[in-house]
């Protein structure tokens, strides 16, 4: 069984479209057979045919994983590798670790097809593409987790947004609340109960005046769930293609179904001893192809 939560992109849309988009390997015949067998539930009620769904609905899909997923479809590009770490280019529609949609994830694919016992040192969203750092052993993992915690590893993202900020460079400050039930976060300009402070730094890389878009380099000073997507949207510059925090008609205009957001740069800025990983200090790994 797989559980899905409907986001605003699919509000008032057909359930079949939502499920097929969530499971690209699922064919229509299998899906409609599941409808007939009442193997799909909406808010814990079995249904026998396609229907409209609404934001926040809980969808339960009782279709076996071999119809939903295919690990062989995921070709993972290894960007850097040595005896202690591996850095890969994660494709879209794939979580770093197991989630509510699938137990097939980047970590499971790498451990099955490349190296055993790889463990992720950080995470990016399912539909955010780009660099993810893995440790090959427990000692490396502990060092790298500590380095991320102490902000001795920089993570930079490229985001294509609608609109062009007046300032070429700025550190945005706000407060974020995570609603786990809805799989959404909310941003406030003022501190509220259960909200956490966030800092998002951007620099304009390229402007497209004609289409009113620009490419931003994003440096996260805090690493909260959906921080970049929600914070930029709150600031008035939604990421193009973002079905959750973006603008649907803008996404359609540019023909993007997932957010134009890439984890494109990792920089090791160690200020303390790093034991077996000292050789990584001052090293920068960049994703050149998007």
CA dist 109 and 98 (Å) reads 11
Q: How confident is the model at residue 25 (pLDDT cuts 50, 70, 90)?
A: confident
Residue 28: count other Cβ atoms within 10 Å of its Cβ: 10
Identical fold, 71-152 and 157-263: yes
Rounded to two decimals, what is the model's pTM?
0.77
Mean pLDDT for all residues in the chain: 91
Summarised one tens digit per residue, pLDDT across range 238-253 is 999 999 999 999 999 9
Please check whether the domain covering 71-152 is classified as CATH 3.30.2350.10: yes
The torsion region of residue 18 among left (phi > 0), alpha (psi -120 to 50) and beta comes to alpha
Percent of the chain with pLDDT over 70: 96
3-state secondary structure 88-106: EEECCCCCCCCCCCCCCCH
**Where along the chain do its domains lie?**
2-65, 71-152, 157-263
| pLDDT greater than 60 at residue 94 | yes
Residue 249: count other Cβ atoms within 10 Å of its Cβ: 7
CA dist 77 and 205 (Å) reads 25
Instruction: Indicate the DSSP class of residue 256.
Output: -
pLDDT of 26: 84
Beta-carbon contacts of residue 171 (< 8 Å; ≥ 6 apart): 199, 200, 201, 221
| pLDDT greater than 60 at residue 72 | no
Helix orientation angle between 15-22 and 28-36, rounded to the nearest 10 degrees:
130
Q: How confident is the model at residue 66 (pLDDT cuts 50, 70, 90)?
A: low
Summarised one tens digit per residue, pLDDT across range 110-164 is 988 777 789 999 999 989 999 999 999 999 999 999 999 999 999 999 999 999 9
CB 92 within 8 A of CB 258: yes
Summarised one tens digit per residue, pLDDT across range 228-284 is 999 999 999 999 999 999 999 999 999 988 999 999 999 999 999 999 999 999 999
| pLDDT greater than 60 at residue 71 | no
**From the candidate CATH numbers 3.10.20.340, 3.30.2350.10, 3.30.365.10, 2.40.10.350, the one assigned to the domain spanning 157-263:** 3.30.2350.10
pLDDT of 155: 94
Please give the angle made by the CA atoms of 244, 248 and 254, to the nearest 5 degrees: 115
Residue 70: count other Cβ atoms within 10 Å of its Cβ: 14
pLDDT of 124: 94
CATH of domain 2-65: 3.10.290.10
CA dist 163 and 170 (Å) reads 15
CB 47 within 8 A of CB 63: no
**Which backbone phi and psi does 169 adopt, to 5 degrees?**
-145, 140
């Amino acid at each position: 069984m797989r559980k899905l939560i409907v986001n605003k992109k699919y509000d008032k849309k057909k359930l079949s479209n939502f499920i097929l988009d969530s499971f690209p390997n699922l064919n229509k015949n299998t899906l409609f057979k599941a409808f007939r067998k009442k193997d799909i539930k909406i808010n814990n009620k079995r249904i026998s045919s396609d229907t409209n769904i609404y934001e926040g609905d809980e969808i339960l899909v009782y279709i076996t994983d071999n119809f939903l997923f295919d690990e062989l479809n995921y070709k993972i590009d290894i960007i850097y590798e040595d005896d202690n770490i591996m850095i890969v280019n994660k494709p879209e529609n794939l979580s770093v670790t197991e989630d509510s949609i699938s137990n097939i994830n980047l970590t499971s694919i790498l451990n099955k097809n490349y190296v055993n016992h790889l463990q992720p040192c950080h995470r990016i969203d399912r539909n955010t593409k780009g660099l993810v750092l893995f440790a090959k052993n427990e000692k490396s993992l502990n060092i790298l987790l500590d380095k991320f915690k102490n902000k001795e590893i920089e993570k930079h993202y490229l985001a294509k947004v609608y609109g062009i900020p007046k300032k070429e460079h700025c550190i945005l400050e706000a407060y974020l609340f995570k609603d786990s039930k809805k799989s959404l976060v909310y941003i406030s300009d003022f501190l509220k109960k259960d909200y956490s402070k966030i800092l998002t730094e951007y620099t304009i890389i390229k402007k497209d005046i004609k289409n009113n878009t620009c490419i931003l380099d994003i440096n996260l000073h805090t690493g909260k769930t959906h921080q970049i997507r929600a914070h930029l949207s709150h600031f008035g510059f939604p990421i193009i293609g973002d079905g959750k925090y973006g603008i649907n008609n803008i996404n359609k205009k540019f023909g993007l179904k997932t957010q134009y957001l890439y984890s494109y740069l990792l920089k090791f800025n160690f200020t303390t001893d790093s034991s077996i990983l000292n050789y990584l200090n001052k090293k920068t790994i960049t994703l050149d192809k998007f």
